[in-house]
Amino acid sequence: MPVHDYIPVLPDDMPYEQEIDLDSGNYLFTFQWNETDRVFTVDVSDLEGNLIRGGEVLVLNQPLWRNINVDGLPLETITPLDESGNETELDPGNLGDTIQLCIDDIPDGED
């Protein structure tokens, strides 16, 4: 079974910012955990810190920025996935462990 490339996420370090190098460009991703709503969010900015899209909620098996058309967003499809298919929800105990922020870079027909 093919394994996707992924963006490492460190729930214990949240909130934090990291530079992400994708084929479509370099970005700053800022990861947060909202304890009240019990959701992870990510802001994406350019390398100068100009916000492109903020507060995107990470949802298991749902691509980030789905149905969002904003100039400057990464072109890659990035999705929180458990490639084993065992997890049913995203939480601080499994993000970065069994659930990864996967980059859809596997050619069609191979996954």
Among 59-63, 91-95, 102-106, name the one with the lowest average pLDDT. 102-106
pLDDT in tens, 61-73: 999 999 888 999 9
Quick one: pLDDT at residue 69? Answer: 87
Contact (CB, 8 A) for 58 and 37: no
Task: Tell me the backbone φ, ψ of residue 13, rounded to 5 degrees.
Answer: -95, 0
pLDDT tens digit sequence for 16-47: 999 999 999 999 999 999 999 999 999 999 99
